[in-house]
Amino acid sequence: MGLRPVAMEKVGLLGLRSDEERILTVLHDLRVAQIEPLSPAAVAEVGPERGSETLRRIGDETLRFRGLLAALPATPTPGPRGFGSLEEVLALARTVPIDDEVGALVREDDRLQTERKAADDTIALLAKLDFYPERLDLLRGKSVLAFYGEGDAEAVEHLRAGLPAPADARLLVGPAGPRTRFLVVGRASAGEALSAAAQREGIRLSALPDLAGAPADERARLEARRTEIDGRRGEIRARLSEVAAAWYPTVAAVVEALDVENRKVEVLTRLGATGATFALEAWVPKRDAARLRSVIEAATDGRVHFTVVPTDEEPPTMMANPAGVRRFEFFIRFYSLPQATEWDPTLVFSIVFPIFFGFMLGDWGYGLVILGISLWMIAGFPGARHLPRAGRNFVKMIMGPKGMQQLAWALVPGCVIAIGLGLFWDEFFGFSVLHLLFGYRAPVQPDSPSDVGKLLLLAGYIGLGMVVLGFLFGALKEYFHHHRRGVIAKSGGILFAIGVAFTGLALIHHATDPRANPIDVAWYAALGVGLGLLIGGEGIQTGMLGLIEVVSHILSYMRLVGILLASVILALVINSISLGMIRSHGLLAPVLIVLGVVVLLGGQAFNVILGVFEPGIQGARLVFVEYFSKFYTGNGKAFRPFGAPRTHTVPSVDEHGNLGPILRAPEP
């Protein structure tokens, strides 16, 4: 279960240089080892690994085949291809003869694409020049400049009146329309003055194309050329498809095999070697260490030596949560990755965050809307292209599509809880729909002053539970790290939190006489003992600050009710104002009815937006600040195992850790 990250151990491996390639291949395909730079003590014994001339050949072939793969259209492959060694990959690469043809086709296609883009721009400009019937070369000369421009009629008239005298410029204005189109012709020496005058009026001038004929004739010629370009580009795509049908599977397999070899090259600098042996060190999950050893021993026929490397280094962090809980790792990584030797808070976060979110939202109407939006986000935003571009760009500024999907998955259980509580409280966009339709009377109503106290008391108990749980995890963490004073301080925090909470309740109910309430003696004792343990464990100054922190963190959970009330009251205000307008009479009734509908829809939409941000932000904050601060350090280093999945090549190890057919132990 995911209360702790996966336990790691550092292992050392010593093998023969002749087995180095196959060992790295197995490590790559198993993807359970994060290869680390060899320790200085080990490097002093074996020396650094230098690699070989083969590395240059790998780099050259990688560049070549990545270019081919990018040029060829993707084609279905018959299945992954097996390679027994790097030499097989390089030998197959030498048999691929399509470089010259593919390169020529791609270069021609790039040139035609550039030409077509220029033709599109010129055709668009010539279409705007339909009011000028003469040849374009009449507007060019050593002493003459001509520009096309457009703007509103008033700006064009201001430009005409403000043309600089030295330019000796003339305007040829096109037909009337939403925007006035014109040609301005003047002396070449006054080009900068003309541009400055146009800029003052907010008009952009465009240079005329270097063409000779009339705009209509040149436009027809360019459209014919564009058709020729499209035809030729179609022929190029067809030919590339023919080449891909014959060679794409081979190219894709070689690229993937070379990528594997390049990953091996990248880790060579972390290894050590002598003339006959090589050595590496790696972090490996303890649960995978035995499997890794057995597979590599099988691949080398036992010619390898494993050892566990004792170290005080902080291991990398690999979280292991169930599938549903794993979706909440997004929030933990956003805050800070846990260290490998501390608690993984994802499980608790996955439980309490939806509860906090649903409690603060507390309306089944809002819950249904946000649930629908979340499901739309999870589905990949179908139909999003129909939304206003400004809205789409704003969403992209907040978070990328992948992050939005992760957030949506996390909001779904919170929306379900909000719907359930909203039905229980009979809250539907601020209306008591169930009461109106079925006569249902909610046992607890958030907008009722008599029930607010109950909700505040519930929030206080939640705060007490979260603070105590945080201190409990903190005490266990200090115990496992052998910090005795830390255990004392965290235990004191638990007792003080319980004591101050129940002592506060006794004061509120004026039940402060231990003789009348013997149980209060336990709360006073917890308060005093907790105070002593906090100060004894952390010192007077830090301990006293801890006391204030305990009280403030418990009270901070009252925001659960505060945000719920804010949402409910805002909905009631929106409904009251809008319904008052809708029910109006008199001459202004139609206008007020329309305005009331606008206020109702706009106000409720605004409250939905608040219903996402406020419960989401404050729910996460209550975990990050009031809970994490008791035990969480963070700043862990992510576990990044060496290797990547294969698609076009056969792995050396199957999913069960058995050696594949392409990797056989060499004869001794």
Check whether 14 has a pLDDT greater than 70.
yes
For residue 209, give the 3-state DSSP assignment.
Answer: coil
For residue 214, give the 3-state DSSP assignment.
Answer: coil
DSSP state of 6: P
Structure tokens at 196: 């400055």
Provide mean pLDDT across the span 238-249. Answer: 95
CA–CA separation, 472 and 469 (whole Å): 5
Q: Comparing 171-175, 240-244, 380-384, 609-613, which segment has the lowest mean pLDDT?
A: 380-384
Sequence-separated (6 or more) residues with CB below 8 Å from residue 389:
none
59 phi/psi in degrees, rounded to 5: -60, -45
pLDDT at 381: 79
pLDDT range class, residue 665, cuts 50, 70, 90: very low
Check whether 390 has a pLDDT greater than 70.
no
Check whether 387 has a pLDDT greater than 90.
no
Of 564, 5, 619, whose CA–CA distance to 349 is shortest?
A: 619
66, containing H or E segment: helix 54-71
pLDDT at 516: 57
Q: Which amino acid is at 543?
A: G
CA–CA separation, 80 and 660 (whole Å): 13
Instruction: Express each pLDDT in 99-155 by its tens digit.
Output: 999 999 999 999 999 999 999 999 999 999 988 989 988 888 788 888 898 988 888
Instruction: Express each pLDDT in 272-312 by its tens digit.
Output: 888 889 999 999 999 999 999 999 998 899 999 999 999 88
10 phi/psi in degrees, rounded to 5: -95, 130
Provide mean pLDDT across the span 441-468. Answer: 90
pLDDT at 660: 67
Check whether 13 has a pLDDT greater than 90.
yes
pLDDT at 453: 87
The position carrying tokens 């499901």 is: 375
Q: What is the pTM of this model?
A: 0.78
Question: What topology is assigned to 118-227 in CATH?
Answer: Alpha-Beta Plaits (3.30.70)
CB–CB of 279/271 below 8 Å? yes
- Percent of the chain exceeding pLDDT 90 equals 51
Q: What does the domain layout of the chain look like in residue ranges?
A: 118-227, 346-627
Structure tokens at 604: 């409720």
Provide mean pLDDT across the span 478-484. Answer: 89
SS (H, E, C) 486-506: HHHHHHHHHHHHHHHHHHHHH
Instruction: Express each pLDDT in 363-372 by its tens digit.
Output: 999 999 999 9
431 phi/psi in degrees, rounded to 5: -100, 150
CA distances, 157 to each of 131, 167, 169, 186 (Å): 18, 17, 14, 17
pLDDT range class, residue 395, cuts 50, 70, 90: low
CA–CA separation, 171 and 150 (whole Å): 11
DSSP state of 48: B
CA–CA separation, 143 and 346 (whole Å): 75
Check whether 400 has a pLDDT greater than 80.
no
pLDDT range class, residue 385, cuts 50, 70, 90: low
Check whether 668 has a pLDDT greater than 70.
no
CB–CB of 208/173 below 8 Å? no
pLDDT at 501: 84
Q: Comparing 107-111, 279-283, 428-432, 505-509, which segment has the lowest mean pLDDT?
A: 505-509
- Rg of the chain over Cα atoms, rounded to whole angstroms, equals 37
Average pLDDT over all residues of the chain: 87
The position carrying tokens 């941000």 is: 613
Provide mean pLDDT across the span 507-518. Answer: 59
The position carrying tokens 């459209």 is: 223
Provide mean pLDDT across the span 61-71. Answer: 93
pLDDT at 664: 47
